Amino acid sequence: MTTETPTAGATGPGAALPDTPEGGARPGPDGRLRCPWGTGPEDYAAYHDTEWGRPVHGDDALFERLCLEAFQSGLSWLTILRKREAFRAAFAGFHIPAVAAFTEDDEARLLADSGIVRNRAKISAALANARVAAEWAPGELDRLVWSHAPDPATRRVPRSTAEVPGSTPESTALAKELKRRGFRFVGPTTAYALMQACGLVDDHLADCWRRGTAAR
C-alpha cells in the first residue's frame, strides 16, 4: 500500500498516509503491540491483524492485490479497504479470464461506478493486465510473484517504521519482469507493497505481536 514516490521509512498504509504515526510498535486498545498504522481506524487494525503479511497464493488472489495496490497509488489505503467489496463486485471477483473478457461497455461501466476509484488510466491498466495474465498457464502469475521473495535470513528485522524500505532490489526486479511481460502501472514501490501485503516479506515491526506469526 504505497505510492510510486514513497517517503523515507514508509511501511504499509503509512506509505500513503504521511500523517500515520511512525516509530516503534504501539499498544492497541487490547494492549497488544502493533505496527503504528495498525493502531489506527478499525479497518486498518483488522487488516493489520488478519491479512497484511500473511502469505497469499493463487493467480486471481494475486491479480486482485496487484490491481488494488495500483488503484491505491496516490491515495490512502483506507480508501481502498473501504471500497474493496465494491471493487470485487465491479471486477467480477478479479477472476482473470472474466476481467480479460471485459468490453468497452464494461470499461465505461467502471468509469461510471462511484463505488470504486474512477481513474481511467488505472482501470485501463487493470483490464490490459488481465488480458496479459489470461494468456499465461495456470499458476504462472503465482510462480512469477513468489519467485521474487527474498530469503528471510538476509533481511533485517525492523524495529521502527523508519527501517522499512519503500522498495527493494527484489521488488524492482519483480516490477521489471511484470513490465517485460506486458503489465502496466506496476512500479518497484507498488511491487514492494504487494510483497508486504502478500507475505513475501515480513515487515511487521520486531515488537509487533504479528511479527513472525504467518508461516508460508
Name every residue whose Cβ is closer than 8 Å to that of residue 167 and which is 6 or more positions away in sequence: 6, 188, 189, 191, 192
- Please, are residues 194 and 65 in contact by the beta-carbon 8 Å criterion? yes
Angle at 210 between CA 56 and CA 51, to 5 degrees: 30
Residue 54 phi, psi (nearest 5): -85, 140
CA dist 171 → 77, 123, 167, 177, 178 (Å): 19, 22, 6, 10, 10
51 CB-contact burial (10 Å; exposed 0-12 / middle 13-18 / buried 19+): middle
Given the residues 47, 146, 192, 209, the one annotated as active site: 47
Q: Which one is catalytic: 37, 44, 52, 77? A: 77
Q: Which of 22, 37, 44, 69 is catalytic?
A: 69
Count, in order, helices (H) and strands (E) of the chain.
Answer: 9, 2
Catalytic residue check, 44: no
> Known catalytic residue: 69?
yes
77 is known as an active-site residue: yes
Take residue 42 and report the three cell numbers written for it: 478499525
The number of angstroms, rounded, from the C-alpha of 27 to the middle of its chain's C-alpha atoms is 24
Nearest to 78 by CA among 42, 54, 105, 50: 42
Residues recognised as catalytic: 47, 69, 77
